[in-house]
Amino acid sequence: MLRLTTFGGLTVENEAGEANASIRPRQLALLAILAGAGRKGISRDKALGILWADSSPDRARHALSQTLYSLRRELDGDVILAGPDLKLDPQKITSDLAEFRDALETDDWKKAAAIYTGPFLEGFYLAEAPDFERWSEAARSDLALSGLKAIENVAVALEKSGRLQDAVLARRRLTRLDPFSHAYAAAYMEVLAAAGDRAGALAHGKAYAELLKRELDTDPSGEFVMLMNRLRTRQTASMDTSRRDDIRAHATPAPAISWNTSREHEAGRHSTSARIVAGAAVAIILVAAGIFVKARVEGSNLADKPVIAVGKIRDMVSPDSGRLGSVLGEMLTTSLGRVSPLQVIANSRMLELTPRESDTARTALADAAKRAGATEVIEGELVPLENGKLRLELRRVNLADGRIRAGYGVTGDDRMVLLDSITSLIAADLRLAAPSQTLAEVSTRSPLALRYYEDGLRAFYQFDAYAANRLFKAAVREDSTFAMGVYYAWRSSVAVGDTTQLSLGPRAIRLASKASDHDRLLILAHVGGQELGLRAIAAADTLGVKYPNDPEALVRSATIGRDLGRAITQLNRAIAIDSASGISPSTICRLCDALSALTIRYDWADSVARVESTLKRWIRLRPEDAAAWSALADFLVGTGRGKEAAEAQRRADNLGGLRGNPAERRLAWTLRLDDVEGAMRQCTSLLTAADGDEYDAYQWYCTIALRMAGLGLLRPR
């Protein structure tokens, strides 16, 4: 009996465990595909499409015959049952993949975990076969979820039975298979600590933080920081008294540092006792502030921190205060976003939730902040002083009762320095660490680029993608290193079908390190998600963990994340957040994005019932949304319910949905309903009358119809 090994590599072994080195890569690839197909096997046409998609049908069929013949010769017999469908002969060859699936079906987690020794087809590459690479990547991702689940279930069982040393080994496997996972890193540290190895737990935490910084240029989540602090506290508490006395005897006392912040009393009195001058004096004070915050942050309770939104910031220096005020708001939002783990509502989210023509009104911005889930809003003004100096005054206002929680003021002659200074004041007041980077390092110093960018965001979130695209590109022309300008230029180019997206996407990824933590992860997950590389998946995972109150972060994370259960939880949370925000037809529907992504994830999981229930949930929440009805129509066609699909599509059309070419849609639906004769009748009339692009579109569908009818290929006109 031969055995095909697919986890951690791809080999065929004999009963003695010796690998057959003479089998060629494409032969191995065919065996892997058949192992993936399982007992049902796979059609010849599908196998041809995966391995020889770029060859003509005749050459592809010949190549398959040759591959089957070569395998028969190399393995001394037929290991493939070659009828209309191809499948492995279980009497002659088995596979670790088949054993793995059998173990999963019986919930034998221990056996499944033992079989899953590494990623599916790890290190195996087939030249000039992009469809095989896509197939293997999809299979690798799905099997990784099952393998990690099996190992985690084993780890949980070991922990419950008190076998902590064995649990440590299982948890370590998880961190090696998915080194970017917050959950696996934290669980490994917890079980190490429980087994008495707190030093090892802290060492892994440090290594994990360094990995995130090196590969993603980001920091661990607030929850992870709290875990590290808790483990440090436990370690200190467990030291014996003599050791603590020895440490005290050799310790150097820390200098006492005083710190004043300008705080407004709830009655409304305003104090100006904490004025800070710009330049060297600011730098000195901020260094002291950093030491002070670092001393206090480790013991702080992150759960009691507010969720901040930036409201109206009036610029009384510029005559165009209404426009530049919003630019100041964007700059302050970016600046505060550098304070980890403070939750700051993105300026783009504020614009999403602000009605048209009112996005500079104080009350409209405060209302948008509430709907976005903020608990406090920051308002203020930039005022001119003598000798060219500027004064930035801000107030933190409680959205629940309108009372002022705190006030801050800084003086200087550079807006960027002022924003850096006041951000450090706010961080210190909230007992958080000041940012390590300056605002200029994660934004742009060009006021004109920021103005174009702000106006571009406004146009983008008011559904004018063409105007937004022009504005974002103008921002990039003003500052070619402005990461978020390039990112939104890419997004808007995708929306309008502009080919510059091909160069803007890679450029945004290269510039991601020049953005704030949130924005950097968003760029890596969104733009990088088009490639579905490991770095993009890790960024998406981190994005969802660190920003659980941001619907866009949750949707982006769930869209390319590998953990189906986590993705479903994130999408449902995004739906709940956007539902609570009171979305209207005039604002971006993140709820719709989340529901659409949720149907896709259920579709990948082959859960037809859940796809349908999610689409109907979408319609209940948004009955006037044409996209929901159109998605339902598409689903109903796929399940053979043509009449219901036609009714749903009529609803979508009546609600103003994108109609496209009705004849092309009708032809596509006929094919999907397996009505080959009906499709052939439509092709006869459509191809006779069509020309140009229409003919090309019909030709594609009619070629499929001919294949389904077994009549060969349609020749180009």
Q: Are residues 313 and 430 in the same domain?
A: yes
Q: Are residues 435 and 575 in the same domain?
A: no
- Final residue of a domain: which of 390, 414, 443? 443
Please count the other Cβ atoms lying within 10 Å of the Cβ belonging to residue 19: 13
512: DSSP letter: G
Burial class (CB in 10 A: 0-12, 13-18, 19+), 211: middle
Which pair of tokens denotes residue 706? 């001919």
**H-state helical runs in 497-607:** 501-511, 517-526, 534-546, 551-560, 564-580, 590-604
Integer Cα distance of 366 and 379 in angstroms: 10
Whether the predicted pLDDT of 274 surpasses 70: no
**CA distances for 30 relative to 49, 60, 132, 367, angstroms:** 12, 13, 10, 59
Integer Cα distance of 440 and 296 in angstroms: 27
What sign results for the dihedral spanned by CA atoms 16, 22, 25, 28?
negative
pLDDT confidence of residue 241: 41
pLDDT confidence of residue 153: 94
Domain membership flag for residue 405: yes
Q: Are residues 411 and 522 in the same domain?
A: no
Integer Cα distance of 469 and 490 in angstroms: 8
What sign results for the dihedral spanned by CA atoms 587, 590, 595, 600?
positive
Say how many residues make up the chain. Answer: 717
Question: What is the average per-residue pLDDT within 278-302?
Answer: 36
pLDDT confidence of residue 15: 85
565-583: pLDDT as tens digits: 888 889 998 888 877 666 5
Mean model confidence pLDDT for the chain: 81
Integer Cα distance of 401 and 352 in angstroms: 24
Cβ atoms 494, 469 nearer than 8 A: no
Q: Which helix (H) or strand (E) holds 390?
A: strand 390-398
Domain enclosing residue 571, as ranges? 516-622
Cβ atoms 63, 55 nearer than 8 A: yes
Domain membership flag for residue 425: yes
Cβ atoms 437, 449 nearer than 8 A: no
What predicted TM-score, i.e. pTM, was given to this entire model? Answer: 0.63
Domain membership flag for residue 240: no
* Residue among 89, 94, 76 nearest 20 (CA): 76
Q: How many CA atoms lie within 13 Å of 562's alpha carbon, on the beta-carbon side?
A: 26
Question: Which range, of 78-82, 126-130, 330-334, 429-433, averages the lowest pLDDT?
Answer: 126-130
Whether the predicted pLDDT of 238 surpasses 80: no
Q: Are residues 439 and 521 in the same domain?
A: no
Instruction: Specify the higher pLDDT residue, 217 or 503.
Output: 503
Integer Cα distance of 419 and 282 in angstroms: 11
Question: Which range, of 149-158, 347-356, 554-563, 583-592, averages the lowest pLDDT?
Answer: 583-592
Q: What is the DSSP string of 132-191?
A: HHHHHHHHHHHHHHHHHHHHHHHHHHHHHTT-HHHHHHHHHHHHHHSTT-HHHHHHHHHH
Q: Are residues 426 and 540 in the same domain?
A: no
Question: What is the average per-residue pLDDT within 577-594?
Answer: 71
Integer Cα distance of 220 and 581 in angstroms: 28
Match 């929901």 to its residue by tokens: 628
Integer Cα distance of 358 and 373 in angstroms: 19
* Residue among 180, 126, 131, 580 nearest 373 (CA): 580
Domain membership flag for residue 42: yes
Question: Which range, of 204-208, 223-227, 242-246, 265-269, averages the lowest pLDDT?
Answer: 265-269
**CA distances for 495 relative to 90, 194, 400, 463, 498, angstroms:** 50, 51, 38, 10, 8
Rounded to a whole number of angstroms, the distance between the first and last alpha carbons of the chain is 53
Q: Are residues 401 and 535 in the same domain?
A: no
Integer Cα distance of 36 and 572 in angstroms: 31
Whether the predicted pLDDT of 248 surpasses 60: no
Domain membership flag for residue 588: yes
Q: Are residues 523 and 437 in the same domain?
A: no
Integer Cα distance of 72 and 91 in angstroms: 15
If one counts the domains in the chain, the total is 3
107-156: pLDDT as tens digits: 999 999 999 998 899 888 887 788 888 888 888 888 988 999 999 999 99
pLDDT confidence of residue 485: 94
Q: What is the DSSP string of 610-663?
A: HHHHHHHHHHHH-TT-HHHHHHHHHHHHHTT-HHHHHHHHHHHHHTT-----HH
Q: Are residues 417 and 286 in the same domain?
A: yes
Please count the other Cβ atoms lying within 10 Å of the Cβ belonging to residue 690: 18
Match 């540290």 to its residue by tokens: 189
- Final residue of a domain: which of 590, 622, 654? 622
Which pair of tokens denotes residue 9? 């590599």
Residues 6+ positions from 154 with CB-CB distance below 8 Å: 109, 110, 113, 170
Domain membership flag for residue 30: yes
Q: Are residues 523 and 439 in the same domain?
A: no
Domain membership flag for residue 271: no
pLDDT confidence of residue 295: 34
Q: Are residues 56 and 141 in the same domain?
A: yes
Identify whether 306 is preceded by a cis peptide bond (ω within 30 of 0).
no
Whether the predicted pLDDT of 314 surpasses 60: yes
pLDDT > 90 in the chain, percent: 30
Task: Give the domain CATH number at 600.
Answer: 1.25.40
Question: What is the average per-residue pLDDT within 215-238?
Answer: 79
- Residue 91, amino acid: Q
Q: Are residues 340 and 433 in the same domain?
A: yes
Q: Which residues of 69-91 are buried (b: 16+ CB within 10 A; e: fewer)?
A: ebbeeebeeebbeeeeebbbeee
How would residue 642 be classed by pLDDT, with cut points 50, 70 and 90?
confident
Domain membership flag for residue 356: yes
326-336: pLDDT as tens digits: 678 888 998 99
Long-range contacts of 583-590 (CB under 8 A, 24+ apart): 583/353, 584/355, 585/624, 586/355, 586/356, 586/462, 587/352, 587/353, 587/354, 587/355, 587/461, 588/352, 588/461, 589/622, 589/625, 590/352, 590/551, 590/552, 590/555
Q: Are residues 439 and 533 in the same domain?
A: no
Task: Give the domain CATH number at 321.
Answer: 3.40.50.10070
Task: Give the domain CATH number at 127.
Answer: 1.10.10.10
- Final residue of a domain: which of 443, 464, 484? 443
pLDDT confidence of residue 191: 94
